[in-house]
Amino acid sequence: MQIVEFGAGTLRFLDQVPQRAPEGGFVWIYLERESLEQELPAVQRAAQALGGSPVLDLHVKDLANRAHPSYYDYTSIYDIVTFRRLATEAEVLAELGEAASEKRSGQRLGAFSRIRTRAVSFVVFDRLLITVHPAGCFAARSFIERYLSDAVQAEGLNAAARSRLPISSADLMLRMLNVMVDNYLDLRKVLGTEMDQWQQSLLGPDSRAADWAALMTARNALHTLEDLCEEQNDAMQEWLDTQREQPAPWMQQVERDSLLARARDVVEHIQRVVHHLRRMEQGAETAVQIHFSAQSNRTNETMRTLTALTAIFLPLNLIAGIFGMNFDVLPLTKLASGFWWTLGAMALIAAVLALVFRHKRYLARGGR
């Protein structure tokens, strides 16, 4: 469990929870979900001392639930927000295993099959922020490392460093949420590149090798991400509405406006991710439709060519059938050159029909 005290332009790392929050600041308690049960008594004492109320048992269960979806809830004392972030490559490897990950990475659309998420929970008091993360969470670690370099006493902190510190517990939560959402924005590039490559191969001449199983995995991943982002958007929108309707009484107007602007920025980023995911789904559907249209067009061209060839040989079969009749007397059958006259006539008919069909573009390549 990490304890960071943010004061008026200062911060410091503590070994134990302080008896009260600093004047004009707040306390951030960070712990991993695996140690929540062990640290719960200390967390509840901190919530009672610094926040004015312990965390409800129902919310404690939500904090311990690693599969909990993104959501927002509140009490008269604190707000609780659960947000699902993208799992790192190391977390994906640990979940899928090295062999399974290497097998998927060699497939087209392999990035879609490696999408995994982790739940991060925030309990937001006026002067206290409790965050519960998966083990080794990059979001908390990056902020701790960032603030660790500025962990000095007030007399040694310059004005430039003060401006980088969060002004409230809600502000720190929004900063971490913004980092998580940015990872979804970065994921768009990888997914978009793989989808473009798949579409090009699907519309290429060798489209029979298209990996339809990978496409179904990608579509399921896109649907999952879209549902996930919509849950995130709903949770953040509800939290934002609560802040507009019931602002913290101690917060100045400037700080409140800055907090709302940062919250709107997080919501806007989530909406951008949702918009891009929907565009990718539409692009995949369009590519599949174009693929089958192209396949149907190739089939039609083949059938047109076969029909034209059949029409060319149809009169030749008629002539061969006539001269194969069992009659004693047939024209040209008694002549020494009768075979060649018949063969020449058949060749002439075939050539004329071929020229006529080519003029009508029945035999032209690509229907031209």
pLDDT at 101 over 80: no
Q: How many CB atoms lie under 10 A from the CB of residue 350?
A: 15
User: Would you say 203 and 291 are in contact if contact means Cβ atoms under 8 Å apart?
Assistant: yes
Provide the pLDDT for residue 154. Answer: 40
Query: Homologous superfamily of 2-293 in CATH?
Result: CorA soluble domain-like (3.30.460.20)
From the list 97, 87, 74, 109, the residue with the least C-alpha distance to 238 is 74
Please state the CATH superfamily assignment of the domain spanning residues 300-367 in this structure: Magnesium transport protein CorA, transmembrane region (1.20.58.340)
**Region 256-272: what's the mean pLDDT?**
89
Tell me the two tokens of residue 365: 């390549």
Q: What is the dihedral of CA 166, 171, 172, 173, to 10 degrees?
A: 180
Distance CA 266, CA 269 (A): 5
* pLDDT value of residue 364: 63
> Which residues in 199-221 are b (16+ Cβ under 10 Å) and which e?
bebbeeeeeeebbeebbebbbeb
Tell me the C-alpha distance between 133 and 26, whole Å.
19
Every domain of the chain with CATH number 3.30.460.20 lies at 2-293
Q: Taking phi first (over 0 means left), then psi (-120 to 50 degrees means alpha), and beta for anything else, what does residue 28 get? A: beta
At 148 the pLDDT is 66
Structure tokens at 270: 């989530």
Write down the pLDDT at residue 108. 59
- Segment 140-168 mean pLDDT: 62
Mean pLDDT, rounded, of the chain: 81
Q: Within a 13 Å sphere around the CA of 301, how many CA atoms are in the beta-carbon half?
A: 13
Residues of the chain with CATH 1.20.58.340: 300-367
Quote the CA–CA distance of 123 and 51 in Å, as a whole number.
10
N-terminal to C-terminal alpha carbon distance within the chain: 73
Q: What are phi and psi of 317, to 5 degrees?
A: -65, -35
The residue ranges of DSSP E strands in 33-76, in sequence order, are: 71-74
What does the angle CA 153 – CA 156 – CA 162 come to, to the nearest 5 degrees?
80
365 has pLDDT over 70: no
Among the listed residues 198, 288, 183, 173, the one whose alpha carbon sits nearest the alpha carbon of residue 228: 183
Q: Tell whether the model's pLDDT for residue 98 goes beyond 70.
A: no
Query: pTM for this one?
Result: 0.73
- What is the C-alpha to C-alpha distance for residues 232 and 210, in angstroms, rounded to an integer? 34
211 pLDDT exceeds 90? no
Q: What pLDDT score was predicted for residue 276? A: 86
Sheet containing 128-133: order of strands:
11-14, 2-6, 26-32, 128-133, 117-124, 79-86, 71-74
Distance CA 52, CA 125 (A): 9
Contact 261, 176 (CB under 8 A): no
Tens of pLDDT, residues 275-308: 888 888 887 777 777 777 877 877 888 888 888 8
Structure confidence at residue 208 as a pLDDT band (50, 70, 90): low
Q: What is the DSSP string of 191-255?
A: HHHHHHHHHHHHHSTTGGG--HHHHHHHHHHHHHHHHHHHHHHHHHHHHHHHHHHS--TTS-HHH
328 or 76, which is more confident: 76
pLDDT (0 to 100) of residue 209: 58
The CA distance from 278 to 284, in Å, is: 10
**Exposed/middle/buried for residue 55 (C-beta within 10 Å: 0-12, 13-18, 19+):** buried
Confidence (pLDDT) at 140: 78
Mean pLDDT of 65-69: 91
What is the band of 207 on the pLDDT scale with cuts at 50, 70, 90?
A: low
